[in-house]
């Protein structure tokens, strides 16, 4: 039976101020999405406290419900056991992916990198609080550095099955990350890129076109890969939103082939 307070959970945010709660304020979102309703009471408490602390400190930069829901379907639906995340921030995705990995009993399943030492320390503290240190490894490093890739490969002892790119959003850096990490992805694996829309290209501080331009150029040079872009043409957060509600968009690259036999 559902715990008495489960129906409330994230529904409190349908009236919350602040840009990070945009999904909850959309028309009709007065329900608890599975990324939260699936959590145990203790896990939900961690997420609630994490929101409270990061609201207070202002360390905000996480992705939102549509992307984590997509990740949840992919990870739990396919038992994805070797995940790399480029860009950890304050640990939102790391916590939620960690809960998914714990449910599947996949130890050391997420390798998450950030260039900012304070954010790594913050995320490690929350993972410890959530009891997830056996499932998620936080690494201080630059996602463009081949040494970071070498550490990831050594961590898994195999190629990653899924890579989530959510780091600087700069055009050249994204091209560098794709050039470094795509060859290291297992055949048949998935490479996800957050912030691929025209709207999100403004996050590129170099003003060179961001992830949007990098991915369109990359896919032209890699016709062998299946690439799906959701909301690439979104220009604003205004309503009405397309079916995929995140105006920042997401790109999915499916690397051809089958994994090597064990």
Three-class DSSP category at 131: coil
Query: Please, what is the minimum distance in Å from the beta carbon of residue 257 to ligand SAM?
Result: 27
Applying CB under 6 A, does 92 fall inside the site for ligand SAM?
yes
Q: Is 119 one of the binding residues for ligand SAM (CB under 6 A)?
A: yes
Structure tokens at 107: 């130890």
CB 138 within 8 A of CB 75: no
Q: Say if CB 121 and CB 88 are below 8 A apart.
A: no
Among 39, 46, 101, 113, binds ligand SAM (CB under 6 A): 113
Which of residues 141 and 239 has its CB atom nearest to ligand SAM in the complex?
141
How far is Cα 74 from Cα 190, in angstroms, rounded to an integer? 10
Decide whether 47 or 113 has the Cβ nearer to ligand SAM: 113
Q: Specify whether the CB–CB gap between 93 and 72 falls below 8 A.
A: no
Q: List the one residue from 142, 208, 225, 244 that touches ligand SAM (CB under 6 A).
A: 142
Contact 148, 181 (CB under 8 A): no
Q: Give the integer Cα–Cα distance in Å for 95 and 135.
A: 10
- The answer to whether 167 contacts ligand SAM (rule: CB under 6 A) is yes
Three-state DSSP at 141 gives: coil
Number of residues this chain uses to bind ligand SAM (CB under 6 A): 22
CB 62 within 8 A of CB 90: yes
Q: Which of residues 144-163 bind ligand SAM (CB under 6 A)?
A: 144
168 touches ligand SAM (CB under 6 A): yes
Question: Binding ligand SAM by CB under 6 A: which of 14, 37, 69, 116?
Answer: 116
CB closer to ligand SAM, 104 vs 139: 139
Which residues 23-82 are close enough to bind ligand SAM by CB under 6 A?
61-63
Minimum distance from CB of 81 to ligand SAM (Å)? 19
Binding mask 169-188 for ligand SAM (x = CB under 6 A): ----x---------------
The residue with tokens 């959701």 is 230
Among 93, 137, 201, 234, binds ligand SAM (CB under 6 A): 93
| Closest CB to ligand SAM among residues 81, 119 | 119
Helices 41-57 and 92-103: crossing angle, nearest 10°?
A: 170
Q: Which residue is nearest to ligand SAM (CB)?
A: 87
CA dist., res. 50 & res. 13, Å (int): 14
Using the structure block, give the residue that is written with the tokens 């016709």. Answer: 223
The count of C-alpha atoms lying within 13 angstroms of the C-alpha of 241, restricted to the half-sphere facing its C-beta, is 19
- The site for ligand SAM (CB under 6 A) is made up of 61-63, 85-89, 92-93, 113-116, 119, 142-144, 166-168, 173
């Amino acid at each position: 039976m559902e715990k008495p307070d489960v129906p409330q959970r994230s529904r409190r945010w349908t009236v919350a101020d602040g840009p990070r709660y945009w999904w909850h304020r959309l028309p009709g979102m007065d329900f608890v999405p599975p990324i939260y309703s699936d959590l145990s009471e203790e896990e939900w408490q961690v997420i609630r406290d994490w929101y409270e602390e990061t609201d207070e400190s202002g360390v905000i930069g996480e992705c939102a419900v549509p992307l984590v829901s997509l990740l949840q379907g992919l990870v739990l639906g396919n038992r994805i056991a070797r995940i790399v995340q480029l860009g950890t921030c304050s640990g939102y995705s790391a916590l939620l992916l960690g809960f998914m990995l714990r449910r599947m009993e996949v130890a050391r399943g997420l390798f998450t990198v950030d260039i900012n030492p304070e954010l790594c320390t913050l995320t490690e503290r929350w993972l410890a609080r959530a009891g997830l240190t056996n499932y998620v490894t936080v690494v201080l490093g630059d996602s463009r550095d081949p040494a970071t890739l070498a550490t990831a490969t050594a961590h898994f002892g195999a190629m990653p099955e899924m890579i989530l790119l959510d780091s600087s959003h700069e055009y050249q850096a994204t091209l560098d990350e794709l050039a470094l990490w795509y060859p290291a992805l297992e055949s048949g694996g998935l490479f996800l890129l957050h912030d691929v829309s025209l709207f999100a290209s403004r996050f590129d501080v170099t003003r060179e076109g961001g992830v949007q331009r990098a991915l369109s150029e990359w896919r032209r040079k890699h016709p062998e890969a299946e690439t799906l872009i959701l909301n690439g043409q979104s220009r604003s957060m205004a309503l009405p939103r397309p079916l995929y509600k995140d105006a920042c968009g997401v790109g999915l690259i499916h690397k051809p082939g089958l994994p090597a036999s064990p």
